[in-house]
Structures are given as C-alpha cells and as structure tokens.
Amino acid sequence: MKLQKNMDMKNLYDRYCLRQKHSLFLSLLVLAILYAVCVVTLILISDRPARENIAHLIPLCITAAVCFLVAVCVQVQALFRVLAIYFSVAVWFCLLSIVFVPMLLLEKTATKDNVAIVMCIIVFIYTMMPVNKIQALTASAVTSIAHLVLSGILSDRHVQCLNWQLIANAVIYLCMNLVGLYHKWMTDIAQMHTFMDTRYCIESRIKLEYEKEQQEQLLLSVIPAYIAAEVKRGIIVKMHQSTLDVSRRPSAPPSSMFHEMYVQMHKNVSILYADIVNFTPLAHGMEAAELVKTLNELFGRFDKIAQDNQCMRIKILGDCYYCVSGMPISRPTHASNCVKMGLEMIEAIRAVRQATGVDVDMRIGIHSGDVLCGVIGLRKWQYDVWSDDVTIANHMESSGMPGKVHITKETLMQLDENKWEVEPGNGAQRDELLKEHEIETYFIVPLKRKASIESESEVDLKALGSGPRGSIMSSTRVARYLESWEADKPFANITEGVVAKNIELTSLALIEASLLQPRRNSCWNFRYWINVEDIHPVSLHFTDTSLERLYYRQPDPVFKYSIACVSLIYFCMLIIQVFFMPKNLVLYISYGAIFFLFVILLGVSWAENVQISKSRHTAVLSSVSRMVTDGPCLRMFITTTTMAVLVAAAVITMVDCTLSDNKLKDSQSIVNFSQLVISDTTSLFVSTTNITRCQESSSNNCYFSSYYAYCCLLALTACSVFLQVNFLLKIFISLVATILYIVIFNYLRPDIFTSPDSETEFPLTQPVKYTIYVTLLFLTLHVIDRKIEYTSRLDFLWKTKFSFEQEEVETMGSVNKILLENILPAHVASHFLSPNRRTDELYHQCHESASVLFASIPNFFKEFYYQTDITKDGLECLRVLNEIIYDFDKLLLKPKFCAVEKMKTIGSTYMAAAGLVPGQENKHQTPHHHLIVLLEFAFAIIAILNQFNKDSFNEFRLRMGLSHGEIIAGVVGAQKPQYDIWGNTVNLASRMDSTGVVGKIQVTESTARVLEAAGYDCVCRGPVHVKGRGMLTTYFVRAPGMRSPENSRDRSFTLDMKK
C-alpha cells in the first residue's frame, strides 16, 4: 500500500512538473514564432533578392509553422502529457535548422556567427522545454558540439585566429551549459519544495478534518450536540488565554469566582429509569469478555429502542439505564415516548427470558417534570441530569415491579387516556420519598400481544432453550442468545469516519485538484500568470502587506550559489575580453577591480560553509556570511551592484576600440597572450601558421566585435541567475541593460559592428541582428524570472498556509487530548485510537485487584438543593456542586493521585477507582498499593470539602464507601460509548456508601484487614444488612487530621434557598 502511494505520488509529481513546464513551453513557442516572423519580415523588406535569402527563409518559415502547430496541440493537456518529449524534439530540430541549414547551404560561414542564436537555444532547452536534466544536458551538448564542429570544418581555414574563436565559442557554450544546469537544478528543487509544501499543507488539512471528525465523534459520544459546541468553544478560549502574556490577559469578570459550567434547563420532559432485575447474580458467573459483550448487546438494543422512540440515553449505571424524552427538542409526546420505550424494553428482556429460561426482567420507572442537564466538574465529563423530578424518577424505578412500567400521576396526565390503560401502582407503600411527597403512582397495563408474537417466542424457547440448555450455565445461554442482536461496537465509527476511510485517496485527490486543476486560460491570457487571489496579477506582490513583509525578510540560503554562478559568468567574460578585445589600461583596471570584488563576495558568501580554521577572522567572516543570507537589504545591494558591474563590464572596453591599422601591435599582443596561456604542447589547437595569419590579417582592434555582443548576452544571463531576488528588480536592470546595448549597437558604436570584410552572407546587418538577439534573450529571461517569482511566492504562500494549518491541527490535537482525558482513561483512549485495533472486538479488562470509592454528599439534595426563582430552578445550587466536583477533580492532577481514575458522578455522588491501568504497578510497591492511594484520595477530598465549607459557610458532609477486589472494566454502548466497571467489588463499594454514616469511610472486613496491615486505624462497626449480600461486618476508617489545602479560594457566598 505504501509502495503504491509512493508510486502515485511520484506520478503526481511528474505531472505537476509537466504542468509547470506547460506555460513555459507555450512561451517558448510564442517567442520562436515571434523571432521567425520578425527575421522573415526584415529579410523580405531588405534590398537583397529573396532567392539569395532562401537558405534563411526556409528554416525560419518551417520553424514558425511547426511551432504554431505545436502551440495548438499543446492546448490539449492530455495530448501534452503524452507527447511532451516529442513536441520538444520537434521544436529543437526546428531551432537547429535555423542555425545549421544556412551554414550548410551558403558558401561563406564565419566561426563567430550564429553563436548568439545557439546561446538562446541553450537557454530554451534548459529553462523552457519539458525535459529532465539529463535530456536537457544531452540536447544542449549536442547543439554546442555540433556548432563547434561544423563551424570549424566549414569556415575558411585562412580566417583570422580560427582556433582562438573556436576556443572562445567553446568557453561561451560551456558557460551557458553550466548556468543552464544551475538554473535547472535550482528550479527543480523549488518545484519539489512547492510540491512537498502543497502536499504537507493538504495532508495537514485532511488531518485537521480527521481530527475535527474524531473530536466530534468523541465529544458527541458523551455530550449532545447542543452542549458540545459550548464545551469546545470554552476549551479553545481557555487555551488561547493561557498562551497570552499575563499582562495582556483580560481582567476576570466578577463572576469568575465560579468555574465554567455547561448546564441548561429543560422543562416539561419525561425521565425513564430502567433496571435489569436479577442481572447481578447472573453477572457473577460471566467472564470479563462475556460480561462486557452481554452488556453491550443489551444496552445496544436499548439504545436502538430509545432512538426509535425519540428518547436520549443519559447514562449507564452498572445494569441501570436511564434516558429522557423531550430534550433537546421539546416534544409533546415525551411521556408517550418513554412509556412505549419502557414496554419495548420489557418485551426485549422477556424474549431473553423465554429463549434462555433465565429469570431476568426489567423494572421501569417514569416521571415527568423539569431537569437540569449538562456536564459538571473538571475531568471525566459525562452528560447527566439533575432535579427533584430526576430523583423521583429514580425512586419510581426502585419502587416498581419487575415486568411493569411504573409511572407517576404527572406522567399519566401527559398521556392519551384513550390509548393507555393503567392500574394503581401504590408506590408510596414501597418507598419513603414517594410517601413523603404524596406521589400517586400507576402501572401501565400492556396491550395484548398478538398470538403470532407468542408463537414466535415459543419457537425461540424450543429452539434455543431445549436440549442442552440445562447443562449450560444461564450466563452462557444469555450471552449466546444476545449475540443474535448484533449490536454495534463502541467507537467503531472513530476509525471508519468519512475522512478516515479514504484518507490516502483523499490526500492524492486534493493534491491533484490543487496542483493540477484545469486551466481555462491560455499562455497569452493576462490572467494566465496567476490564479491565486492573494497575489497581484501584475507585480506578483502579495495583496496582504504583512505577508509581503514576511516574504521579503525571509533568508536566502541559495544566495551563495548565485554568487558562484555569476562569478563563473564573469570568468568567461574575462577570457573572451582577453582573447579578442584591446588589452589596455581600461581592461586591466576594470576587470582587475571586478575580480577583486568577486573574490570578496565568494569569500563572504561561502565563509560559513568553508571553515579552514577556528580563528577570530573566520568567525567574523561566518557572521558576515549569515548576515548576507539573512539580510534582505544587504542581499539586494549586492545583487544590484553585481548585475550593474557585469552589465558595464561587457562593453566597458569598447571605449578604446578603434579602427586604426595597428596590425602588428595588436596582433603581437594576441601572439604574446597565446604564448603566455598556451604552451608548446597546444599545437593541436593553435599552429604557428594560424598565429602568423592572425597577425597579418587583423585589420583593426575590433575585428572580433561580435564577442562584445556575446558578452552582453552573458551579462543579461547573469541578471537572471539570482533566482530569489524580486523579478521587478531583475527586469529593471535587464531592461536598462538591453536598452543600453541596443543604443550602443545602433547609435553609439555602430562602426565596429559594420566591418566591410564581413565573412558571412547573413541578410541583416550586425547591429540589427544583435538587437534581435538581445531583445529575444531579454524577453526569454523575463518570462523565466516571472515564472520563478510566481513559483517562489506560491511556495511561500503554501508554507504560510501550512504553518497556519499546523497550528490549527495542534490546537485541535490539544482539544482532542483534553476531550479524550475527559471521556476515557489514557490507556483506554490509546486503544481506541490505535490504527491497528480490531473494530469487531470489545474492549475489556479483568483486574484481579483494584479499589473502588463512592463518596456522596447526602445533604446536598436533601437540605441545600431547592428549585426556586432565586436559585434559577436549582441552577445556582448546581453551580455549587460543580465547584465541589471541580475541586475534587483537581486533586487528580497531582502526581501522587495519578493512579486514581474518576469514573463518574451520580447526582451528588463521586465515584473513583484505582488499579485499573495495566502495567502501572511498581515491583517495589505492595500488592494493594492502589487501595492506599485511593484511601489517601478519600482523605484529601474530605479536607477539600472541609475547606470549601469554611469558605462558603456551608455544612456539606461526605459519606464514603470503599472496597477492593476483582473488577471487570470495559466500554459498552455504540451510540454513546461509556467506560465503566462491574463486579462484586463495585457493588460492595456502593453499598458501603449507601449503608454508611455521614462523615465516615465505611469498608468491608477484608479491606479493613489490608488497611490495618498498612498502618491505618479501622474501627469495627458491626454487622450491617447489605442488599444482595445479607449481614456483613463493616469497619470505619479513622481519618487523620488533615490541614486545609493550600491556595484555597475564598467563596464568601450563601444562598437563601427557602424564600
């Protein structure tokens, strides 16, 4: 899969490079057509007969026609992708025909002619043709060598200094090839960076979408959507405020004495509580995997029933299930929805009972009223509901009867009397709270089931309950039967999200859409140059000035390579000038000073990379080198100075170029130089005969004036070497240079370019010819520079967007981490986020030794909580509970309590456990270290609540139950997955709390023995009746004196609840 992705990415990159070359290739075709048409027009209007110019006209016309045909064909992108190399070869042959056809057909051929057009062809090949580096080097080398060989063969052997001209031409071609390779190498790197930055940006965007999708799924698994938005916004605001400097943070509003609480009031809803009767003894015989699977199937079916009846599941408490109808969307049928759901739950469990013969049933309690719903605390958020009506609904379930739906009079009043039949429930006789509030209760009389349903149940009973049923444990029979329900697995959608399913294909598709989107514009359309609205279409500046400043100030790590390349061009110009130009004081002073300048620039720019020693001078040079790389103003000054110096150096010796007959003097200077540079062993290139002829036939100093034009072309090429410099600066200097050269060719010194002993039969004069070449090269370099500027700015734009996207990804990752920590324990979350996990398996763990704590505040709802206008229907009372839970949760952030996991809050009860993380036990710790840690946590929350009471003038008291032993942990529920623990240890801890005494920690006898062995003082309470266990001897753990926690906040508030 990875290899396939790499192949697809390589193919995509090749297509991207081809797309980048598409516009340049079209520009090449346009320039070739313009050149051919311009030269043909000038030839036709010249005085020479057309038949004498046929050798020039034929290749020019063919080139124009072929280029036009190719330009039409490449408008079809598919055709260009397939035939790009063939189009390039065709254009290359046409350009070669312009050079070589006249050379082969005409009688006179000069070695110093056609060099300019060959230089332009080399530039075309490296910069504009859709070929790779090897193909470009091959084509350029063939072009250069072919011209050198043919010009050497076809030229008159008696021409002045033939071998020197061939060497000079070879130097020029070598220089152009090296510059072309440099340009090709740097642009390929820039294209690769742009492609990779685009890829990273798009992949980060996909990752961001995946993070958002995953975050939504995780958050909505515990919190409804209408509260989830507030939770996310609150988290992001807090993260943003935490990154601000303390002095810049906004002052806290007066209400900041309270922490954020995401709770809303919903009126006129119905609450359903359901409990699976006789499930606890059934669960005792199940293995961990079997229990978790059974609960997941049951609660998965209940979730489906709730969804069908427009009910929202709130929470799972062991084998207890409760939900609400009428929120977040108000529904007039909320009571009917809950009743129908209760009946369907009873039917579902009856099917289990009839099919397996196991005595399990449902006890349902329903009440209608108002609720506060949301999340409280700092960690392990779970959506919950609070109100007096919720408490009544809970007691309706506990006072109900198995197999019946127990409703209050308030619920009955919401039902259609003609649709439902009821009978007295007498709940007040079985529950003190119902009796205290004089609540009338009723049982729903189920509608008569159809005979077909009864017969189907009998078939199920015979099929699944007969035969070996008696020999199979009841728990196993239930588990096997529930497998047929095929409930979804928890968090199955996390790894199968819309984005996550096809993330690889999505990445490739988006990259292709961003980099290879179809373009309606053609190369001569003005808008062709840019299709990004962030960049100005003319100047290519960013429309955002801050972005432009960042782009301008970015360092240029390749600047030293540009200096090296310009130095190479200068060296080639120096060789040509020494070969053929007057060797006078102007040459020595100008080129000597420039040589000294380039030595300094090379030393400064490369000092950081080439350190011979660690002396102080080397350190200074390195710092200067870094200043050049990082300083945009200094780089611009160096670039401007370098380009201006080379432009001037190309023609500076022309001031002393005359037509005087100083044959011997000038020829002798050439001989002296040849003797100085070329030893006797170079007779292969320069013979004594040639030197003598060069002496005798040289008519003036400027006989080789064509090489002035070639130096001008080299100087123009040098202006384009600085790839990272703003193209407006380059075009300005190049334009000034082009105008200067044209003026010199045609007005200031036309005499040296109109020598009467011209060797060729080219129909145009040399000033006109060189004017065309200079203009052609200027336009070519402008097109290239503009394309490079656009690519560079686009790359910077992608990098900037990538950085912004990366920040968003990191922010979402932090939010996601916070949400994970508030939904699942870290080791459970890592399991579900693992890409290698199997989605068809349920998460479950069996812990042989773990501890469970239940800590309740019994007097909170009995004495403190009131639903009045002053308390905003209990909202302000719940805010106090949120503060208490928040302080409890903060204790979990301390390293000493890292092994404690908050499980949930149930009303005003706080449930925590320890010893649930596999592999967390230290070999130096006792086997029951988790119990000690959890007990210390219990002592800590006692101290926290005492300090809270002191600050707020309240009298809240804790009643706590603690137990340890074997525990089964797992995640159940597909629509709203929930991490929970089950087992006898959990039930005992809950009973230790419910049967305990306010202000004390009650533990079982086995737990007390472990604590006493660890040095804690336990006092025997005596036998206590525990539901489901009979009489048990329990103990109270004596809490040591606890000091008030540090940094406690002053909460000087009281509420007059009873007004």
Which token pair is 26?
A: 């079209």
Contact 222/376 with Cβ under 8 angstroms?
A: no
Cα torsion angle, 126, 131, 137, 139, sign:
negative
pLDDT at 757: 41
What pLDDT band is residue 6 in, cutting at 50, 70 and 90?
A: low
Tell me the CA distances in angstroms from 62 to 75, 91, 762, 764, 924, one per residue in order: 20, 10, 18, 19, 90
Has residue 755 got a pLDDT over 60? no
Average confidence (pLDDT) over 744-765: 69
CA 465, CA 477: separation in Å to the nearest integer? 8
- Burial readout 226-240 (b: 16 or more C-beta within 10 A, e: otherwise): ebbebbbeebeeeee
Report yes or no: 609 and 559 within 8 Å, Cβ to Cβ. no
Give whole-number Cα distances, 242 to 247, 249, 273, in Å: 12, 8, 41
C-alpha of 222 from chain center: 26
Candidate list 48, 549, 1027, 1038, residue with the active-site label: 1027
Contact 435, 428 (CB under 8 A): yes
Do 597 and 683 form a contact (C-beta atoms < 8 A)? no
Q: Which amino acid is at 276?
A: I
Q: pTM surpassing 0.85?
A: no
Q: φ and ψ at 46, to 5 degrees?
A: -75, 170
**Which residues sit opposite 317 in a β-bridge?**
320
221/60: higher pLDDT: 60
Radius of gyration of the chain (CA): 45
How many Cα atoms sit within 13 Å of 1050 on the Cβ side?
1
Tell me the helix, strand and coil percentages in the chain, rounded to 5. 60, 10, 30
In the predicted model, is pLDDT for residue 341 greater than 70?
yes
pLDDT of residue 49 exceeding 90? no
Res. 336 pLDDT band, cuts 50 70 90: very high
Residue type, 890: K
Per-residue DSSP letter, 897: G
Compute the half-sphere exposure of residue 275: CA atoms within 13 Å on the CB side of its CA: 19
Q: What is the residue-wise DSSP string for 288-345? A: HHHHHHHHHHHHHHHHHHHHHTTEEEEEEETTEEEEEES-SS--TTHHHHHHHHHHHH
At 363-409, the pLDDT tens digits run: 999 999 999 988 888 878 888 889 999 999 999 998 999 989 999 99
Question: Which tens digits make up the pLDDT trace of 588-611?
Answer: 888 888 889 888 888 888 877 665
| Distance set, CA 227 to CA 39, 233, 828, 924, 997 (Å) | 76, 10, 24, 45, 37
Residue with tokens 């036009």: 68
For residue 760 the two structure tokens come to 């060729």
Q: Using CB atoms within 10 A of its CB, is residue 131 exposed (0-12), middle (13-18) or buried (19+)?
A: buried
- pLDDT for 325: 93
Let me know: does 232 contact 216? Beta carbons within 8 Å: no
991 is annotated as an active-site residue: yes
Summary mean pLDDT of the chain: 78
C-alpha–C-alpha distance, residues 965 and 581, integer Å: 101
Measure Cα distances from 1043 to 131, 954, 1039 in Å.
Answer: 79, 18, 12
Rounded to whole angstroms, how far apart are CA atoms 607 and 622?
Answer: 5
Contact between 958 and 855 (Cβ < 8 Å): yes
CA torsion angle 6 9 10 14 (round to 10): 180
HSE-CB at 1041 with a 13 A cutoff on CA atoms is 1
Q: Is 462 a catalytic residue?
A: no
Residue 460: predicted pLDDT: 46
Per-residue pLDDT tens digits for 923-936: 556 778 889 999 99
CA neighbor of 638 nearest in space, from 725, 716, 570: 725
Q: What's the burial of 808, exposed, middle or buried (CB within 10 Å: 0-12/13-18/19+)?
A: middle
Q: What torsion, rounded to 10 degrees, do the Cα atoms 166, 169, 175, 178 define?
A: -70
pLDDT tens profile 989-1040:
999 998 999 989 999 999 999 999 888 999 998 898 888 788 889 999 987 6
User: CA–CA separation, 952 vs 409, rounded Å?
Assistant: 39
Residue 22, pLDDT > 90, answer: no
| Assigned token pair, 379 | 């960690």
Residue 233's nearest CA partner among 221, 245, 241, 244 is 241
CA angle 891, 896, 901 (to 5 degrees): 60
Mean pLDDT of 254-283: 81
Is the pLDDT at 793 greater than 70? The verdict is yes
DSSP 523-556: TTSGGGG---TTB-TTT--BSSHHHHHHHHHS--
Q: What is the dihedral of CA 596, 599, 605, 609, to 10 degrees?
A: -160
Asked if 366 contacts 393 with a C-beta cutoff of 8 angstroms, the reply is yes
Would you place residue 811 in the very low, low, confident or very high pLDDT band (cuts 50, 70, 90)?
A: confident
Q: Is the pLDDT of residue 134 over 90?
A: yes
CB contact at 8 A, 577 and 591: yes
**Is residue 733 very low, low, confident or very high in pLDDT (cuts 50, 70, 90)?**
very high
So what's the pLDDT on residue 664? Answer: 32
Contact partners, residue 587, CB within 8 Å, separation at least 6: 577, 578, 581, 653
- Note the pLDDT of residue 667: 37
E strand residue ranges, 36-119: none
Q: Tell me, what's the pLDDT at 1040? A: 65
Pairwise CA distance, residues 194 & 516, whole Å: 13
The torsion of the CA quartet 1020, 1021, 1022, 1027, rounded to 10 degrees, works out to -130
Active-site residue (options: 313, 799, 991, 1000): 991
Query: Residues 697-712: pLDDT tens digits?
Result: 333 356 677 888 899 9
**Higher-confidence position of 483 and 1036:** 1036
